[in-house]
Amino acid sequence: MDPFMQNNQTNMNSNFSVDIYFHFGLPGFENINDYSFEHLDEVEPFNILRARHDPKISLLLFDARLLPLYCDIPISEMEKKKVELKVDETPAVFLVLKIDSHEKRLTANLRAPIIFNFDTKMGHQLILEDETLSMEYVLEPETVNIA
Amino acid sequence: MLVLTRKPGESLRIGAQVVVTVLERSSREVRLGIEAPGEIPIYRDEIYRKIQKKNLEALMNESTQPTMISAIIKGKNWNVLLDDTQR
């Protein structure tokens, strides 16, 4: 079950942390498999993916559902299998953000989203074939759907 | 690096489950077919290396974590994060 829905049903404070296993690690961190996906009210709409045994390794994530242009990105059956999703199930899709302090902006890597199956507690970073997808899409609050 | 020579139509087997077949060859490129279990990801190496680099660049460090989190905790627009004069 989507932990966002689960937590909203039970807690007013919807902070939560889910242990996630990346069977193949992440590109750049191939030997690190165990992470925590952290949702903190104070940093919404962002989330943090943190290596459980090396907290210095942490990435800022952004829920792809909030980016209208990214809604129709196809996730293949093979890719769903990597997090043990069934064909008719939809993964949670998040984008890795970079804080560019020199250019003073947040950018999202649209080419390599991370999919999660919060039921099986598995995650996997995809690399999409579409070469038009930017690895440094500039994220602005105005372009995001936050209810 | 193990170097093997294959002609079009010939294959390599990697472990028990991965087979790489040379499908056709031209003067500029070689077309490969790869049979592997669906759970094994297969990437063009140059793209994989780019994603590695992007992930490493995206790592939060001590200077970005507290700045980012405190800016957002104060409920401000993301632009506060990016403008030091507003902190």
Per-residue CA distances from A56 to A12, A18, B27, B34, B67 (Å): 29, 18, 47, 37, 15
Using CA atoms of A49, A74, A24, A108 in order, give the dihedral in degrees to the nearest 10.
-40
Contacts of B4 (CB under 8 A, 6+ apart): B12
Residues of B engaging A, defined by a Cβ cutoff of 8 Å: 38-39, 41, 43, 47-48, 50-60, 63-65, 68-69, 72-73, 77-79, 81-83
> Could you report the per-residue pLDDT of B15-69, keeping only the tens digit for each?
999 999 999 999 999 999 999 988 788 999 999 999 999 999 999 876 666 566 5
Instruction: Report the SS3 class of residue A39.
Output: strand
Integer distance in angstroms from the first to the last C-alpha of chain B?
52
Burial A103-128 (b: 16+ CB within 10 A, else e): eebbbbbbbbbbbbbbeebbbbbbbb
Kindly determine whether residue B38 and residue A77, on different chains, have CB atoms separated by under 8 Å: yes
Spatial CA neighbour of A20 closest among A43, A47, A42, A44: A47
| Window 28-67 of A, Cβ < 8 Å to B | 28-29, 42-44, 46, 48, 57-60
> Could you report the per-residue pLDDT of A21-39, keeping only the tens digit for each?
999 999 999 999 999 999 8
Domains and CATH numbers, chain A: 3-143 (2.30.290.10)
Task: Please answer whether residues A106 and A98 qualify as being in contact, where contact means their C-beta atoms are separated by less than 8 angstroms.
Answer: yes
Average pLDDT over residues A60-76: 83
Whether A10 shows a pLDDT value over 50: the answer reads: no
ipTM: 0.86
Integer distance in angstroms from the first to the last C-alpha of chain A?
21
Provide the 10 A C-beta neighbour count for residue A85.
22
Whether B80 shows a pLDDT value over 50: the answer reads: no
Kindly determine whether residue A109 and residue B56, on different chains, have CB atoms separated by under 8 Å: no
Residue with tokens 């409920």: B75
pTM: 0.82
Beta-bridged to residue B19, according to DSSP, are B13, B35
Average pLDDT over residues B4-9: 95
Q: What local confidence, expressed as pLDDT, does residue B77 receive?
A: 54
- The pLDDT-based confidence of A141 (bands split at 50, 70, 90) is low
DSSP H or E run through A80: helix A77-81
Average pLDDT over residues B72-86: 44
